[in-house]
Structure 1
Amino acid sequence: MQQSISKSLILLLAAVFAMTPYAIDSYLPAIPIIATDFNVDTSLIAITVSMYVFGMAIGQLVGGPLSDKYGRQPIMSLGLLVFGVCSLVLALVDSLAFFWLWRCLQSIGGGMAVVVVPATIRDNAEGKEAAKVFSLVMLIMMIAPSIAPAIGTLIMKISSWHWIFLSSAIFAILVAICAFFIMPKHIKASNTMPSTSFKSVLKFKPARGYLIAQVFSYALLITFITNAPFAYLVKFGVSETLFSGLFIANVVGVVIINRLNAYLLNRYDAEQMLLAFLGLKVFGGLVLFCSILIMPNNLWFAVSGFVICMAATGGTISNASVSFLKHFGRSAGTASALMGAMQFFIGAIISGITALLLKDALWPMVLIMFGCSVIALLATLKANALNRKMTETKMSYCVN
């Protein structure tokens, strides 16, 4: 029987989830300086962002099944320690090759730790409570990217870029120590119990639609974050100060929808809330469509569409995760690994394609964001229908 998740466990899981956006975004202001210190082109340092994303996906594919077999706490602690040690080494390296190597290893450790978070929530909560916990943890994950660059800039003003990685190392090791004491002792799967493969997770139709919704909701998020500088700074020519303000507007929208989602979950199921917020996201896409067709040079028309799309993400990602993972018990680690890896891989590919297509107009970005919303909505509609049919079949069987 599942028990209510403690506040200390929620804070721990949020801290682990915040580690990734901090690791990605905190060193962005330092990229030109690191490139100068290594005497290389800036792009060769900037590419480590993509390396980190793909390394995270690999770490999740490795850590998820291992957490099913050996338990959540050992794999989370191992991932955090790997992340921490690699962060410490990154602060000491003096060549590009070693920087690349340890950055990749750091991300694999981060992926192993992060993948345990959804599985742990699935182990210790269900239904509406799980959705509320996911919503809170996702809120931390989405706020972290907005403050991480500022933290990195502050560290550089006080010291040097090396301390950005040292701070990551200290943070990871402290969280690993907390995980040892706070993480519940997960019961290992029996050796006689057949393991769940990635293929079997994908083949389970009632959950597949929620996986697709999660992946394409995340792809929309990454597409916007990757291409927002072009949209605002290049296409509309706003100042860097106004750009920061417009970016913060999206964060505010996410916070509002996230808290609204937590409140509405007292009355509605996660599947219902997912459908509602995906509808809002599609509406935001339609606003963007109208903006590029009717008033392509109007900044605030486009901003309203972007804010609606991004704000809706505050309610889609958490509800999609809960709706997907509820179908998997002790194999939640494997399911979580597949979900995490797919959203990172596909998100990176779609956002990268969008960046290549952007030239002097926003239509590729708008079309792809709208397409991601529609795909997620259609997948959820189908998944909800399958789950209703499955529930009705079970009820009919019980009556008979």
Structure 2
Amino acid sequence: MLYQATAPSTTSRYTLLIILTLGILTAIGSISIDMYLPAFPVMARYFNVPMVRMENSVTIFLFGMAFGQLFLGPLSDVWGRMRPLKAGLLVYILCATASVLTGNFTSFLIWRFLQGLAGSACQVIARALVNDLYGDKKAAHVFTLLQIIMGISPILAPMIGGFLAEAATWKYLFLIMALISGVALLGCYTILPPGKTPAENKGLHWSTIRLGYRQAIISPAFVNYALVRAISNSAAFSFVTASPFVFTQLYHLSKKQYGFMFSGLALGIILAGIGNTFLLKRFPVKSITRFGIIVQMLAGLAGFFIIFYQGPLIALVGVLLLFLSMLGLILPNATALYLAAVPAYNGSASALVGSMSYLSAFLITSLLSLLHNHTAYPMIGMMGGCTLLAFLCLKYKN
């Protein structure tokens, strides 16, 4: 049931603050990864591990995000949105702080897993809140605005990471993560409406969890769009995980150069998101999504030939810019499509897709580590493969 807004906080005067707060919550997962990518070489030396092992800290974080959403989504359907969201943010802050204090790589991985587990509350509940507050009609537009706001994090986070990616300063990156989460926690207390009211029976039973997931899984439209969203997200994480090695080791970019390049690529997502707000006024959501996936397939194929023929760096960056910018069309539209398919179980639906997205990203990044061969082929191959799968899922008629 759509949350009927009667409190002053849901009037137009507060709409921008609400969307900004939701944008910060949605971006926390991205910030948790993008910000410390330029510091991989320094952190590898600090923990005395090969640089390729640092990719495990991304993988384990993604696993925590995937696992946590499976429970926090149904929990928010039963207990309401705010209690699990506030608890998740508090635990996230503690884990980010603990990551600064540890000097052991295994302990660091444990804290990263717990950080992902807690951070999953931000992802799953922010998506559910959008549908609670705005309903189906405006959801695609709001998700596009959130995508634009979230697109700022891959621009600023790597730049900050590039400047602080030194032996004496990299730990500040995790303190910044804690600070941003603290701002989001403050927003939960002062800005965000509560969204869906708690259920009368606040007990969380396996039957309750199964019911929400069952209603989602038996919906053909949900399955179709959920797979598109999850697989497209995995294509992005293929780039995020492999790009530090590809561009700092193979193309010999400095940490600062890599940070600026990453930020420039993220700018394309914002521009595409702005374009999506205009496209939604003229074209169906599914048609826009299909167009974005087709462009990604062509860009992935072009990237393969550039690597095969050892083309210039600028050509590869241009193709990656085109590929990644299409996420500004695909991700918000696919999110609106799958949530609209099961409006009564938005928490469970959001949890299931969020978990699918991060679990598939976990599998993809794990496979990338196994396929690591000191070339850029695993990265571009995974990106192209994910895009092809997303296109097949969108074409499939349930």
Scaled to the shorter chain, the TM-score interval is 0.7 to 0.9
Q: Which moved more, 1:91-100 or 1:305-314?
A: 91-100
Counterpart AA for 2:352: L
Partner of 1:114: 123
Name the SS for the 2:289 alignment partner: helix
Deviation at 1:144, TM superposition (A): 1.2
Partner of 1:370: 384
Partner of 1:125: 134
- Gap change, CA 1:166 and 1:301, over 3 Å in 2: closer
Does the aligned pair in 2 maintain the 1:250–1:311 contact within 8 Å? yes
Counterpart AA for 2:179: I
Partner of 2:151: 142
- Gap change, CA 1:367 and 1:149, over 3 Å in 2: closer
- Is structure 2 residue 292 aligned with structure 1 residue 283? no
- The 5-angstrom pairing of residues 67-106 of structure 1 reads 67-106=76-115
- Is structure 2 residue 342 aligned with structure 1 residue 351? no
- Gap change, CA 1:25 and 1:281, over 3 Å in 2: closer
Deviation at 1:87, TM superposition (A): 2.5
- The 5-angstrom pairing of residues 214-363 of structure 1 reads 214-233=229-248, 237=251, 239-240=253-254, 243-244=258-259, 246-291=261-306, 295-359=309-373, 362-363=376-377
Does the aligned pair in 1 maintain the 2:37–2:244 contact within 8 Å? no
- Gap change, CA 1:99 and 1:353, over 3 Å in 2: closer
- Gap change, CA 1:357 and 1:118, over 3 Å in 2: same
Counterpart AA for 1:167: I
Structure with greater Cα Rg: 1
Identity %: 28
- Gap change, CA 1:95 and 1:209, over 3 Å in 2: same
- Gap change, CA 1:219 and 1:358, over 3 Å in 2: same
Q: Which moved more, 1:240-249 or 1:253-262?
A: 240-249
Counterpart AA for 1:91: V
For residues 106-131 of structure 1, give each alpha carbon's deviation from its aligned partner in whole angstroms, at most 9, with x where no partner exists. 22111122210111112122345211
Query: 1: CA distance between counterparts of 2:266 and 2:53?
Result: 29
**Consecutive unaligned residues in structure 2, runs of 5 or more:** none
- Gap change, CA 1:189 and 1:273, over 3 Å in 2: farther
- The 5-angstrom pairing of residues 384-399 of structure 1 reads none
**Consecutive unaligned residues in structure 1, runs of 5 or more:** 387-400
- Gap change, CA 1:19 and 1:272, over 3 Å in 2: same
Name the SS for the 2:343 alignment partner: coil
Query: 2: CA distance between counterparts of 1:72 and 1:139?
Result: 23
TM-score (ref. length: structure 2) = 0.83
Query: 2: CA distance between counterparts of 1:201 and 1:39?
Result: 45
Name the SS for the 1:125 alignment partner: helix
For residues 142-181 of structure 1, give each alpha carbon's deviation from its aligned partner in whole angstroms, at most 9, with x where no partner exists. 3313322332454577974444333333332332122023
Does the aligned pair in 2 maintain the 1:62–1:112 contact within 8 Å? no
- Gap change, CA 1:374 and 1:331, over 3 Å in 2: same
Query: 2: CA distance between counterparts of 1:91 and 1:368?
Result: 32
Deviation at 1:11, TM superposition (A): 0.7
Query: 2: CA distance between counterparts of 1:89 and 1:357?
Result: 32
| Residue 188 (structure 1) aligned to one of 198, 202, 221 | 198
- Gap change, CA 1:103 and 1:358, over 3 Å in 2: closer
For residues 21-78 of structure 1, give each alpha carbon's deviation from its aligned partner in whole angstroms, at most 9, with x where no partner exists. 2222334455565566666666666532222111111221121110011011111111
| Residue 205 (structure 1) aligned to one of 212, 220, 225 | 220
Query: 2: CA distance between counterparts of 1:109 and 1:136?
Result: 24
Query: 1: CA distance between counterparts of 2:313 and 2:162?
Result: 28
Query: 2: CA distance between counterparts of 1:280 and 1:42?
Result: 33
Name the SS for the 1:273 alignment partner: helix
Deviation at 1:245, TM superposition (A): 5.1
Query: 2: CA distance between counterparts of 1:220 and 1:70?
Result: 34
Name the SS for the 1:282 alignment partner: helix
Does the aligned pair in 2 maintain the 1:87–1:169 contact within 8 Å? yes
For residues 199-242 of structure 1, give each alpha carbon's deviation from its aligned partner in whole angstroms, at most 9, with x where no partner exists. 4422321211101111111111111222234544555x354366
Deviation at 1:353, TM superposition (A): 2.1
Partner of 2:64: 55
- Gap change, CA 1:104 and 1:319, over 3 Å in 2: same
Does the aligned pair in 1 maintain the 2:230–2:360 contact within 8 Å? yes
Counterpart AA for 1:209: N
Name the SS for the 1:57 alignment partner: helix
Query: 1: CA distance between counterparts of 2:36 and 2:242?
Result: 19
TM-score (ref. length: structure 1) = 0.83
- Gap change, CA 1:312 and 1:128, over 3 Å in 2: farther
Q: Which moved more, 1:369-378 or 1:358-367?
A: 358-367
Alignment length (residue pairs): 382
